[in-house]
Amino acid sequence: MLDKSGTASPTSNLQQIATTFRLTGWISFWSQLVLTIVSGSILLFASVSRGSAANVNTNTSIGVGLTILGIAVLGFNMYWSLFRYIPIGRQLGGKSTVRPKKSEAIQTIRLGLLASLAGMLVALLGAEAIVGLLFAKAASQGVAGFVNVDPAKFIQPLDILVVQASINVILAQFIGITASLWLLNRMSR
């Protein structure tokens, strides 16, 4: 909707921002939910399988613990998308006279961004710990025909699944960061 000067009217911009908040909130929520379920399922499968295999080394527990902490932060991020971003979009786009102030909306976005950054840091530390321990396993397997016969020192397929779960958590945190930055960008126009 253009006014007489040819520029977009304030209500048109407000409607666009409201739509952006709602759409970004839903996309962020659902993509993070799917990646969280996949990561949680992989970690659950790996822990059940490792519990039944007597010869599997569980040195990756520090990395798994950090990945689980990253999943917990994802839970907060999903809550934030569903119960903060989407309602702000509804308040901005609705007929209600009670609308959040721009500074309040920006503060909400910043808190979501900080949570996603903290979650990504934890998930990256978890992935680094897992990969470092897998490298130590690979280095201890032996070379030039001198192979270690201890099966606990071999890299198992479950170890790779744990790496995949950690990377999924990192991707989900990245989606949260991208959503927050996108909303900040839209608010600053």
Domains held by the chain: number: 1
Amino acid at 121: L
Inside any domain, residue 53: yes
Cα-based angle 34, 182, 98 (whole degrees, multiple of 5) = 95
Inside any domain, residue 169: yes
CA distance 167 to 12: 39
Inside any domain, residue 152: yes
Mean pLDDT confidence for 53-70: 74
In tens, the pLDDT along 158-183 reads 889 999 999 999 999 999 999 999 99
| DSSP H helices in the chain | 10-52, 61-80, 86-93, 102-139, 157-187
Inside any domain, residue 56: yes
Closest C-alpha to 83, from 94, 91, 73:
91
Inside any domain, residue 4: no
Inside any domain, residue 147: yes
Inside any domain, residue 5: no
3-state secondary structure of 4: coil
The pTM score is: 0.86
Radius of gyration of the chain (CA): 22
Amino acid at 92: L
Per the CB < 8 A criterion, the answer to whether 2 and 9 are in contact is: yes
pLDDT computed for residue 54 by the predictor: 44
Per the CB < 8 A criterion, the answer to whether 169 and 126 are in contact is: yes
pLDDT computed for residue 52 by the predictor: 54
Inside any domain, residue 65: yes
Query: What percentage of residues in the chain have a pLDDT greater than 70?
Result: 84
CA distance 59 to 125: 15
pLDDT computed for residue 148 by the predictor: 60
Q: How confident is the model at residue 61 (pLDDT cuts 50, 70, 90)?
A: confident
Domain span at residue 144?
Answer: 10-187
